[in-house]
A = this chain, B = another copy of it.
Amino acid sequence: MREATAFVPGHVTGFFAPNPHEDPLRAGSRGGGVALTDGVDVTVSEGSGVTLDGDPVEVASVERVLAALDVEARVDCETPLPLGVGFGVSGAMALGTALAAAAAFDLERSENELVGVAHRAEVNAGTGLGDVVAQARGGVPLRVEPGGPEHGEMDGVPGRSRVEYLPLGELSTADTLAGDTDALATAGERALARVHETPTLATFADASRSFAEAVGLLTDDLRDVLAAVDDVGGTASMAMLGETAFCLGDGLSAAGYDPAVCEIHPAGAVLR
């Protein structure tokens, strides 16, 4: 075929507990998030270089996927999502590269193998711990056990909803994960247990918000936005890890902001 395109949904993590492990296929995170209809189209073809919305970029997870699959290729990505503010764009680029490269170059890998390649690339690049497996699944994925498809275990919260999001600024995943992660782990496990016990969108929104409050990553700007959404009866929270507010429903627009609007993407990554 020599050219193929994959669509990978964006993914906002609401809460997580990092689970480091020396084997990247066992490393990852427990937690929960939302797959978004706003995602990344990744086209792999003969050539070289990586572009994002037409601009050349260097994305370590994509380079690692190509190396793991032993292919040289050109990777062109198109997305309405901003990079580096909590939407799993690097994970989507990695997963989309794996899926589209396998189709373009007839690589004879199973879907789990390809997801595993992308997960390992993302973990080793230090840019994410759970986006890839969540993006492979879609919906409102719960990472019940960490790791790639061989070792991890997923569940999901049923439901469809409008999703609004408002990026305010960047936050380095690598820096945050390099810091003290005990508070993250405790709050993340608590949130996951709560949502797994009562798997509804309302509980997911609440647990995400409680997690954001507990782990001390909220900036003053984010606090202002979340409080404004509270005032109109909504529940917004923070996209982990970015200075980005998100909510299920229309809380951000009801509070007078001008958020981007999409929906929960019910399915995982697919070849176009």
Contact = CB atoms under 8 A, between A and B. Distances in A.
Interface of A: 99, 102-103, 106, 108-114, 138-139, 142, 149, 155-160, 196, 198-200, 266-268, 270-272
Contacts of A106: 200
A158 B103 contact: yes
**How many copies of this chain are found per oligomer?**
2
B114 A158 contact: yes
B267 A108 contact: no
B199 A158 contact: no
Contacts of A108: 198-200
B111 A139 contact: yes
Nearest to A140: B111
Give me the 6 closest cross-chain CB pairs, A-B, nearest first: A267-B267, A111-B156, A266-B270, A110-B199, A112-B155, A110-B155
Given A109-B199, A110-B155, 15 more contacts: A106-B200, A108-B198, A108-B200, A110-B157, A110-B196, A110-B199, A111-B139, A111-B156, A111-B199, A112-B155, A113-B199, A149-B155, A266-B270, A266-B271, A267-B267
A142 B149 CA distance: 13
11 contacts: A99-B158, A106-B200, A108-B199, A108-B200, A110-B157, A111-B139, A111-B156, A111-B157, A111-B158, A113-B199, A160-B272
A270 B158 CA distance: 9
A61 to B, nearest CB: 19
B271 A111 contact: no
Contacts of A102: 158
Contacts of A158: 99, 102-103, 109-111, 114, 271
Contact of A138 (B109, B142, B157, B267): B267
A200 B159 CA distance: 33
Contacts of A99: 158
Nearest to A6: B158
Nearest to A114: B158
A112 B144 CA distance: 11
Given A106-B200, A155-B149, A160 B112 contact: no
A142 B110 contact: yes
Contacts of A270: 139, 266-267
